[in-house]
Structure 1
Amino acid sequence: MSRRQPPKGNTAPKFRVLSPEVAQSRSKPSPSPSEPAAASSSAAKPHQSHPSSYSHTPNSNSNYNPKSRPSFFTRFQKTYTSLPHQVRTTARVLRFLVPAIPIGIFFSEHVFQVMWVRGPSMTPYLNEDYETMHTKSDMVLVNMWPWGGSGWPWERKRRLERGMVVTFRSPANPTHTALKRVVGLPGDRITTRDPCMKSSQIVPFNHVWLEGDAEDPRKSLDSNTYGPVSVSLITGRVMAVLWPRWRWLKWADWEKGVVEGGEEGRFGGDYRRGVRERVLKEAVKMERPMLE
């Protein structure tokens, strides 16, 4: 009996045993044509995640409110109220004191200044009791606006006049502020007194002759010692005596021999007549010092 041969067209496939490595490689799904770039990027950066996974997007169910954070002023006020009472009181005082300091400095340097008059050079007009009480001094008010007239800031022309009591930087000691009376103006011829070496002196342009009111020349260090004084050294004009006896100083009556406080003969008649007789007015024609 013969065995039938299977037809040639219906040959069954033959099975083949694969190794474990080949079987594992064939079991992985092959990437689609549209995903090779994404797959390679994921393989290059396996630990990098998408940025959107870290962002916080508030939704309607969250309690996030961007305005709920307190402002700087709110935090400052809360901190201020928690401070002790003494600290808050000190801060409240400094709040008004700190702005007042520069204002006060400007006012005293450029507007008005209160000064004490020391020494006997202006006696008896100032420091009236100096001969009997050497410890008593007058307190005066000095107008620091440029000299002349009433000295108000809106006056465009201000000039010096005879009889004015002014403050100035002493030529003998620039760090010292002196106080003397204007006796001569530019062009005046002054008959000097001790210790001046010249018998007479003509006041040059833009200078003034200053002397103290004391009769004894040894009690006053003035132009008889260091000569005419430049108007650039003058810092202010004495307006009034504040203490111990209030007096408003008026220089206009100096030429008549009348001074404040002498109306009742307190300083004698025709106050300092001898000083005015030593001044020959306008011996040389010169322009008066003026600030415009």
Structure 2
Amino acid sequence: MSLSEVSSNRCFGGYQKVFSHESKELKCKMNFAVYLPPQAENEDEKLPVVYWLSGLTCTEQNFIQKAGAQRYASELGIIIVGPDTSPRGCNIPGEDDSWDFGSGAGFYVDASVDPWKSNYRMYSYVTEELPGIIEESFPADPSRKSIMGHSMGGHGALICALKNPGKYCSVSAFAPICHPTQCPWGKKAFAGYFGPANEGDLDKAWEEWDATCLVANYSGPPLDILIHQGKEDQFLKDSQLLPDKFVSACSHGKVPVVLHMCEGYDHSYYFIASFIGQHLAHHAKYLSS
């Protein structure tokens, strides 16, 4: 695996780095961020990894610049990996036409219809290709990984955990798109990546990528889900996120979930920075056991 270092900055005793590589899944050049805590310099130690998935319009840069996670990761001895949010520069007609579909909006799914299906395979990239690179290139413990994300990335984190029972030690999300088959963002993305929902069995194809549908039928090992949601989030008010539907499905599927409704907080990285320490502590609890 050939990695090119894009940047490296000393941060809380460790290093915040960005690398680029040619992705086999996405058939394009991709960037990812990796925070290596001070403990990574101990040659005999393998460290746990938390994967962070960002939201619509983001790149690998937003989280590392705004969330303030490095301080907590340094203290806890956790590697944090953050990929970009979609393939880039694939020359697909329409890929740059809107902010909520195509570039910057891969939705962490594997598209099944043309012209998207050959490049837009973010699910396979995040769950298979990228962890393989991380475990080969850095002191990462393959048996200790967790996943979290924000908005579209919160949706991504939830489906990655629910579709891969036992693969992740824990999962958490900030303001996730919980029920994409029932919200405007999700309906637009799923119609584009999977085809329209009104053609026979395609409804079922959509549901396989919807966390609320997945959790209702979850039968894997115990999974303790943590969610923070701002009460002043405009997208909560616009019915894009639907956390109540997810919590209801969790009770049906007997999956423990803690949903914190946070007074006064919106959808921004100020909200994420306020609670990122709690999320990393949540993951550390399961990654250390």
Output the TM-score relative to the length of structure 2.
Answer: 0.26
- Would you tell me which structure has more helix in proportion to its own residues? 2
Output the TM-score relative to the length of structure 1.
Answer: 0.26
Query: Which structure has the larger Rg over C-alpha atoms?
Result: 1
